[in-house]
Amino acid sequence: MLYIIGLGLNLKGISVEGFEIVKRCKKIYLEGYTVNFPYAGNVLREFIGKKIELADREKVEGLEIVDEAKKKDVALLVYGAPLIATTHIALLDEAKKSRVKCKVIHAGSVLDAIAETGLQLYKFGKIASMPVWKKNFEPTSFTDVIKDNQKIRAHSLILVDIGLPFEKAIEQLEKALQDSGIKLGQFLVCSMLGTKNKKIYLRTLKEFKEYKIRKPFCFIIPGKMHFVEEGFLRGFRD
Amino acid sequence: MLYIIGLGLNLKGISVEGFEIVKRCKKIYLEGYTVNFPYAGNVLREFIGKKIELADREKVEGLEIVDEAKKKDVALLVYGAPLIATTHIALLDEAKKSRVKCKVIHAGSVLDAIAETGLQLYKFGKIASMPVWKKNFEPTSFTDVIKDNQKIRAHSLILVDIGLPFEKAIEQLEKALQDSGIKLGQFLVCSMLGTKNKKIYLRTLKEFKEYKIRKPFCFIIPGKMHFVEEGFLRGFRD
CA of B105 to nearest chain A CA: how many angstroms apart?
7
Assign B41 a pLDDT band (cuts: 50, 70, 90). confident
Instruction: Output b/e per residue, A31-59; b: 16+ Cβ within 10 A.
Output: bbbbbbbbeeeeebeeebeeebeebeeeb
**Dihedral in degrees, nearest 10, Cα atoms A96, A97, A99, A101:** -20
Q: What is the CATH number of the domain that holds B187?
A: 3.30.950.10
Q: Cβ separation of A89 and B115 shorter than 8 Å? A: yes
Q: Name the nearest CA neighbour of B63 among B95, B105, B85.
A: B95
DSSP for A38-77?
Answer: SS-HHHHHHHHTS--EEE-HHHHHTTHHHHHHHHS-EEEE
Closest CA to A80 of A41, A128, A43, A38: A38
Taking residue B74's Cβ as centre, other Cβ atoms within 10 Å add up to 22
Contact B115 A9 (CB under 8 A): no
Measured between its terminal Cα atoms, the distance across chain B in Å is 49
Report the SS3 class of residue A163.
Answer: coil
B142 and B102 within one domain = no
Task: Judge whether A192 and A121 are in contact, CB under 8 Å.
Answer: no
The answer to whether residues A23 and A122 touch, using CB atoms and an 8 Å cutoff, is no
The domain in which residue A17 lies consists of 2-108
Query: Could you write out the DSSP letters of every residue in B29-53?
Result: EEE-SS---SS-HHHHHHHHTS--E
Determine the average pLDDT of the residues in B92-107.
95
Same domain membership, residue B130 and residue B217: yes
Inter-residue contact A107 to A18 (CB < 8 Å): yes
The yes-or-no verdict on residue A41 having pLDDT over 90 is: no
Residue B48 has pLDDT above 90, yes or no: yes
B8 and B76 within one domain:
yes
Distance of CA B73 to the CA centre of its chain: 26
Q: Which tops the pLDDT comparison, B32 or B82?
A: B82
pLDDT value of residue A62: 86
- Of A80, A108, A136, the residue at which a domain comes to its end is A108
- Note whether A126 and A155 are within 8 A (CB): no
| A151 neighbourhood in chain B, CB within 8 Å | 151-152
Q: Please give the pLDDT value at position A119.
A: 97
Interchain contact B42–A (C-beta under 8 A):
no
Query: Residue B86's pLDDT is what?
Result: 87
- The mean per-residue pLDDT over the stretch B198-213 comes to 97
The answer to whether A96 contacts B235, with C-beta atoms less than 8 Å apart, is yes
Which positions in chain B touch A123 (Cβ < 8 Å)?
126-127
Closest chain A residue to the Cα of B14, Cα to Cα: A15
Q: Do A212 and A138 share a structural domain? A: yes
Task: State what percent of residues in chain B have pLDDT above 90.
Answer: 91
B187-191 vs A102-105, strand pairing mode: unpaired
Kindly state the percentage of chain A with pLDDT values over 90: 91
* Tally of domains in chain B: 2
pLDDT in tens, B6-25: 999 999 999 999 999 999 99
Given A69, A91, A108, the domain boundary residue is: A108
Tell me, what's the pLDDT at A33? 86
* Mean pLDDT, residues B26-33 taken together: 93
ipTM: 0.95
Q: Are residues A86 and A124 in the same domain?
A: no
Q: How far apart are CA B226 and CA B192, in angstroms?
A: 26
Which is nearest to A179 in space by CA: A208, A154, A211, A143? A143
- Domain with residue A16: its CATH number is 3.40.1010.10
Higher-confidence residue of A17 and A85: namely A17
Q: How far apart are CA A131 and CA A147, in angstroms?
A: 17
Per-residue pLDDT at B125 exceeds 90: yes
